[in-house]
Amino acid sequence: MRIVAGRFKGRPLSAPKGDRTRPTSDKARQALFNVLEHADWAPALDGARIVDLFAGSGGLGFEAMSRGGAFCLFVDIDAGARGAIRENIEALQLFGNTRLHRRSATDLGEKPAKLGQPFNLVFLDPPYGKGLAPSALAGLIDGNWVTEDALAVLEVAADEDVPDFAGWIPVNARIWGAAKVVFLTRC
């Protein structure tokens, strides 16, 4: 796995050992970011404040940082995932522009003031078929984690039904291989 484009293009990323996480493929990440960079409903990546929930290796957050993101908060409960993210932060020298939280993405609570302004771009890549996205998306709004014009990028299994999410409206969806990516804006 590597960074596909931007200032860190070609740099490898560490991934957690085992099969508890499934990093988004380079090809799917490239396609996803092509959509983000060209859609009129997507926030600019340059200067974006990003939160990467169920972060795994942090591939989506690091890709966004490579393409101009200003700050990224990585959230994952798994120790192996957090270890891989730490390695990637160190390898890319992103110490001042990133934070790592050991927290459940489905139980975020109120956004701590020390994290600064709310986030305008959210990546969610929960384990497939577990129904974790609704509570994570609701928690982002309830805890004041996101701006009024935030965009959420949700990855689910290609054959997974995507329910309605309170406070979010789907604006686009794409299928790449085994993954379906749904883009949602705040309503």
- Could you give all domains of the chain from N- to C-terminal order, each with its CATH number? 26-186 (3.40.50.150)
Could you report the per-residue pLDDT of 98-109, keeping only the tens digit for each? 999 999 999 999
**Structure pTM?**
0.94
Q: Residue 63: name the closest of 22, 121, 4 by CA.
A: 4
Could you report the per-residue pLDDT of 45-84, keeping only the tens digit for each? 999 999 999 999 999 999 999 999 999 999 999 999 999 9
Please give the helix or strand (H or E) that residue 140 lies within, else none. Answer: helix 133-142
Q: How confident is the model at residue 158 (pLDDT cuts 50, 70, 90)?
A: very high
Q: What's residue 28's pLDDT?
A: 84
Q: Please, what's the b/e burial string for 104-138 (b: 16 or more CB within 10 A of its CB; e: otherwise)?
A: bbbebeebeeeeeebbbbbbbbbebeeebbbbbbb
Better-predicted residue by pLDDT, 16 or 59 = 59
The residues pairing with 182 across neighbouring beta strands, listed in sequence order, are 154, 173
Q: What's residue 20's pLDDT?
A: 60
